[in-house]
Amino acid sequence: MLPFFRRISLTGRKARARRSTHVRLQLEGLEERELLTAPLPPTGVVATGISSSQIALNWNASTDPSVTGYDVFAKIWIVAGGGKGSRGGRLVYQSVGSNLTAHSETIGGLASGSHHTYVVTAVNSSGQSLYSLPASAETWIAPSLPYGPNTVLLSDGALWSSPVSATARMTTQVTLLGSGNPLTYSVVSGPSTVSINSKDGVVTFTPTASEVGTVKATFKVSNALGSATQTIQFDVAAYPKLAMPTLKLTGTSATYDGQFQFASATAFGSNGGTPLAGSYSYAYNGGAFGGPVNAGTYQVLVTFTSSDPNYGNATLLGNFTIKKATPTFSYLAAPTIAAGTATTVLSGFVGAGTAVPKGEYLIVTVHGVSEATMVNNNGYFAVSFNTSALAVGNYTITYAYAGDTNLNAASNASSVLKVIPTVPPKVTVNPSDETVSVGDFAIFTANATGVPAPTVQWQVSTDGGVTFTNITGNTSALTTTLIFVVDSTQNGYKYRAVFTNSVGTATTTAATLTVDSDT
């Protein structure tokens, strides 16, 4: 549970609570004092590799005026035993910076190409916050071509190391397999019909009729630590003399649902209205093995292979968009509690079908007090509130979720927490006398009302009702129905139930057990 601050003003026996960075106590005849509580964890932590040995961390400055600094921790794996060949171990957070007054830090002395994860905490004179959400980054590594200077990734996901086939007037896409961090791709030499995406290394080549034959293009993979070059040879065939199909994207968008999403296309004949027979393949950003998942706009290369002898094949470059989903709240708790109840759990669900903000935080507010709670992998959440000081009445519970990269903000939702007066227990059902044979079950039933709901304890008297003792060792003695196997020694025993809650106790009349010998 994330700590949230509250300001509490006490005068006589009445109290009010609202959000603040302090807890303020004021009692009659005493001076006013402020008690500082631990701050919230920092938000917006971002890690970025900035050299072969450094990672830069940045986070949002705390709005809490009590925060005096920040601590930074690295997540590391400690091998159990420390010996060679040890397999076990554990993750720990090791301090790499403390009492930082800025909301950024640069960690140096790291190995080139190494991956690191960090968390940040806020500190004040009362203590330290919980860890922030983790942020990961990788130090830079010099560019290389790990699969060799002649290997590329085809749009269908296959590795290819010989000349790449292309057809005039048709688009071919391949991806350079550069390694390093970060990388920038560029064209060193080649025709104007060849281009490369500077960020992901996707090469797009749409040759003209004049380029039928062998075409070579050279590309560079580079960063601040160096560069590597790769030359791709394209064998360009003449465009077939068959009629050209018209390809149209018929499914250009979808809504995020946490699953793979796919575009769709249709090939039409010369009349523009009759779909052609054939097969389709789709490549997203030149290297994806399946459709994209997260919200965003993706370039898609559609390849149509015609099975109609009158038409040739065709390709189409287009865009496929996954829109953010809009979640809603449901299954919201609306509890009824007795005045003075110490803790109440509020729960619910937020999401849009399978699109849920798992691992994200939302805010639940009751009577001016807010708590943040994390959504689990199935979209459900639960958070505990201190309700001991709430007076009798109805309190609005509000739920807010601000959204993330895949989800829009949810419309605020609400439910009602009812606080009702306490009522001492009142017996509504007294147990009845029972006559039972030896070896059979005796069953006594009792009930009572009360707010909060009373607990029950069955008692037995072996001296005709003069004294009673609690029944132990029988779990049913703590329920409204007492059940046990009878033996001959229990003849004449009396049984009663005692109901108890925070404001009182009620005892039933005693019922007598008559044991009938089993003949």
Q: For the residues 293-319, what does the mean pLDDT come to?
A: 91
Q: Is 211 helix (H, G, I), strand (E, B) or coil?
A: helix
SS (H, E, C) 2-70: CCCCEEEEEECCEEEEEECCEEEECCCCCCCEEEECCCCCCCCCEEEECCCCCEEEECCCCCCCCCCEE
pLDDT higher than 70, residue 503:
yes
The hierarchical CATH code for the domain 46-139 is 2.60.40.10
In this prediction, residue 519 carries a pLDDT of 55
What mean pLDDT comes out for the span 18-43?
Answer: 57
pTM exceeds 0.75 for this model:
no
Whole-angstrom distance, CA of residue 257 vs CA of residue 351: 10
Q: How sure is the predictor about 272, in pLDDT bands with cuts at 50, 70 and 90?
A: confident
270 pLDDT tier (thresholds 50, 70, 90): confident
Q: Answer yes or no: is pLDDT of 335 > 70.
A: yes
CATH 2.60.40.10 residue spans of the chain: 46-139, 143-237, 328-420, 423-516
CATH code assigned to 328-420: 2.60.40.10
The pLDDT score that the predictor gives to residue 6 is 35
The CATH topology of domain 143-237 is Immunoglobulin-like (2.60.40)
pLDDT of 30 reads 44
Which pLDDT score is estimated for 242?
84
CB 106, CB 56: distance < 8 Å:
yes
Q: What is the pLDDT of residue 82?
A: 52
The whole-chain average pLDDT of the chain stands at: 89
Say how far residue 117 (Cα) sits from the centre of its chain: 18
139-150 pLDDT per residue, tens: 999 999 999 988
Residue 479: pLDDT band by 50, 70, 90 thresholds?
Answer: very high
Structure tokens at 378: 């199935």
Mean pLDDT of all residues in 221-247: 91
**DSSP secondary structure string, 459-518?**
EEESSSSS--EE--S-GGGGSSEEEEE--GGGTT-EEEEEEEETTEEEEPPPEEEEEEP-
d(CA 519, CA 514) in angstroms, rounded, equals 15
CA angle 394, 397, 402 (to 5 degrees): 165
pLDDT for 240 beyond 90? no
Q: What is the mean pLDDT of residues 107-123?
A: 94
**Average of pLDDT values for 238-263?**
90
Task: Provide the pLDDT for residue 295.
Answer: 93
| Tokens encoding 131 | 């860890």
What Rg, from alpha-carbon coordinates, does the chain have? 36
As a whole number of angstroms, the distance between CA 283 and CA 289 comes to 8
Which CATH architecture fits 246-323? Sandwich (2.60)
**Range from 110-114, 157-161, 209-213, 287-291 carrying the lowest mean pLDDT:** 287-291
Residue 327 has pLDDT above 60, yes or no: yes
Amino acid at 312: G
pLDDT at residue number 32 = 46
Q: Quick check: 86 pLDDT over 70? A: no
Confidence category of residue 34, pLDDT binned at 50, 70, 90: low
Beta bridge partners of 450: none
Check whether 355 has a pLDDT greater than 50: yes
Model pLDDT, residue 89 = 78
What mean pLDDT comes out for the span 399-428? 95
User: Which range among 109-113, 428-432, 506-510 shows the weakest confidence by mean pLDDT?
Assistant: 109-113
* Contact in structure between 303 and 170 (CB atoms under 8 Å): no
Rounded to whole angstroms, the Cα distance separating 429 from 423 reads 17
Percent of the chain whose pLDDT exceeds 90: 76
Q: Which pLDDT belongs to residue 287?
A: 54
The closest alpha carbon to 350, from 395, 291, 409, belongs to: 409
Residue 294 near residue 405 (C-beta atoms within 8 A): yes
CB 485 within 8 A of CB 445: no
Q: Taking 70 as the threshold, does the pLDDT of residue 297 lie above it?
A: yes
163-221 pLDDT, tens digit per residue, is 999 999 889 999 999 998 899 999 999 999 999 999 999 999 999 989 999 999 999 99
* Residue predicted with more confidence, 178 or 85: 178
> So what's the architecture of 423-516 in CATH?
Sandwich (2.60)
Q: What is the pLDDT of residue 26?
A: 45
Which residue bears the tokens 């600094």?
69
Single out the residue of 195, 194, 198 nearest to residue 208, CA to CA.
194
The arithmetic mean of pLDDT across residues 306-310, rounded, is 90
User: Rounded to the nearest 5°, which phi and psi values hold at 102?
Assistant: -85, 165
Predicted confidence at residue 20, as pLDDT, reads 37
